[in-house]
C-alpha cells in the first residue's frame, strides 16, 4: 500500500507542477498615463481625418506611446515584425493583443474561428461590443474613432481608466466614474484567462450602419472566447489534488496499521516471557 501511495503522490505532485500556469506579470495600481510634453503623442500626430491613419508620423507616435507605457510597467518594448504595416487593421490588432499577453507570460491565442470572426464583423458594423455565444466563456472589446490598431491597443491597455488626461476626457465609455465596474475592462478582456479552446475574432470597418456612421468614422472589435475545456488546467489541478489527498490518506492508513501490528507483536512477546 505504501508503494502504491508513494507512486500516486509522485504522479499528483508532477501533475500539479506541470499544470501550474506561468504566473502572469500584471500591473498593480493602474493609472492612466500622461505622455510628457514634447514627446511624440498619437493625438497630435494623427489629426488627419483619414481612417485608418497609416501615415508614418502617426504610426511612430503611437508606437512611442505604447513603449512609453510599457516602460512604466517594466515590460519589454514592442518591436514590430517586418511587414506589420502591410497587414490589415484587424490582423494588426490580433498581433498586438497576443503580444500584450506574451510579454506578461500569458498564453497567446493563435487561432480564430469563423463564428467569432462573424460576430466581430457584425459588432464592428453596429459599433458595439461583440456578443459572446451562450455556449462559450470569454470577453469582447469595441473601440471607435481611433486612427489605427496601435492606438486602439494603447487605449485599451494603458488609458482605460477614469483619469485619462491626454485627450482631456475619458475614452472608456464604461468608466464614467472613478469606481465604475467597467474601468480597465478592455484591458481585463485582453489579459483574461485562456485555454487551448480559446479562439479570437477581430474586425475593422469604416462602413458602419447609418445610425452609427453619424458618430463614428471607424470601428474596431475584439472577441476572445471558447467552450470551457472539460480537461483544462483547472480540472487537471483539481484531479491532481484529489489524487494527492488519496495518497496521503493511504500513507496515513498504512502507518496506523503498521503501528497496530507492532503493538500486537509487543503484547504477544510480553505474554510469552
**Is 30-225 a domain of CATH 3.40.33.10?**
yes
pLDDT at 267: 54
Q: Residue 53 in contact with residue 148, Cβ under 8 Å? A: yes
Beta-strand ranges (E) seen in the chain are 137-144, 199-205, 219-226
The C-alpha atoms of residue 145 and residue 97 are separated, in whole angstroms, by 19
What local confidence, expressed as pLDDT, does residue 83 receive? 97
| pLDDT attached to residue 228 | 76
The whole-number pLDDT of residue 156 equals 95
Cell of 100: 500584450
Q: Where are the domains of the chain?
A: 30-225, 230-273
Query: What pLDDT does 35 receive?
Result: 77
Q: Dump the DSSP string for 35-53.
A: PPTTS--HHHH--SS-SS-
> Do residues 83 and 95 make contact, with C-beta atoms less than 8 angstroms apart?
no
**Single pTM value for the model:** 0.75
Helix (H, G, I), strand (E, B) or coil at 271: helix
Per residue of the chain (273 residues), give pLDDT as tens: 566 545 445 555 555 444 444 555 556 567 777 778 778 899 899 998 899 999 999 999 999 999 999 999 999 999 999 999 999 999 999 999 999 999 999 999 999 999 999 999 999 999 999 999 999 999 999 999 999 999 999 999 999 988 764 444 457 888 888 888 888 999 999 999 887 899 999 999 999 999 999 999 999 999 999 987 655 554 555 566 776 667 666 776 766 666 666 666 555 555 555
What Å distances lie between residue 68 and 8, 72, 103, CA to CA? Answer: 50, 6, 15
Amino acid at each position: 500500500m505504501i508503494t502504491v501511495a508513494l507512486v500516486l503522490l509522485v504522479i499528483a505532485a508532477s501533475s500539479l507542477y506541470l499544470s501550474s500556469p506561468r504566473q502572469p506579470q500584471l500591473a498593480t495600481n493602474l493609472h492612466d498615463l500622461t505622455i510628457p510634453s514634447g514627446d511624440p503623442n498619437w493625438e497630435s500626430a494623427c489629426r488627419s481625418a483619414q481612417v485608418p491613419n497609416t501615415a508614418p508620423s502617426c504610426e511612430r507616435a503611437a508606437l512611442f506611446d505604447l513603449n512609453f507605457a510599457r516602460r512604466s510597467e517594466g515590460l519589454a518594448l514592442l518591436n514590430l515584425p517586418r511587414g506589420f504595416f502591410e497587414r490589415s487593421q484587424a490582423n494588426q490588432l490580433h498581433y498586438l493583443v497576443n503580444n500584450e499577453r506574451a510579454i506578461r507570460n500569458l498564453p497567446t491565442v493563435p487561432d480564430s474561428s469563423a463564428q467569432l470572426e462573424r460576430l466581430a464583423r457584425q459588432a464592428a458594423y453596429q459599433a458595439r461590443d461583440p456578443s459572446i455565444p451562450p455556449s462559450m466563456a470569454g470577453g469582447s472589446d469595441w473601440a471607435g474613432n481611433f486612427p489605427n490598431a496601435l492606438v486602439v491597443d494603447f487605449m485599451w491597455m494603458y488609458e482605460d481608466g477614469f483619469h485619462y488626461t491626454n485627450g482631456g476626457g475619458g475614452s472608456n465609455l464604461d468608466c464614467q466614474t472613478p469606481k465604475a465596474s467597467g474601468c480597465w475592462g478592455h484591458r481585463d478582456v485582453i489579459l483574461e484567462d485562456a485555454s487551448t479552446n480559446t479562439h479570437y475574432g477581430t474586425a475593422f470597418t469604416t462602413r458602419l450602419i447609418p445610425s452609427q456612421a453619424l458618430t463614428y468614422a471607424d470601428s474596431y472589435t475584439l472577441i476572445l472566447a471558447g467552450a470551457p475545456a472539460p480537461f483544462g488546467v483547472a480540472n487537471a489541478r483539481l484531479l491532481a489534488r484529489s489524487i494527492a489527498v488519496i495518497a496521503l490518506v493511504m500513507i496515513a492508513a498504512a502507518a496506523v496499521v503498521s503501528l497496530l501490528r507492532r503493538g500486537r507483536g509487543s503484547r504477544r512477546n510480553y505474554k510469552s516471557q
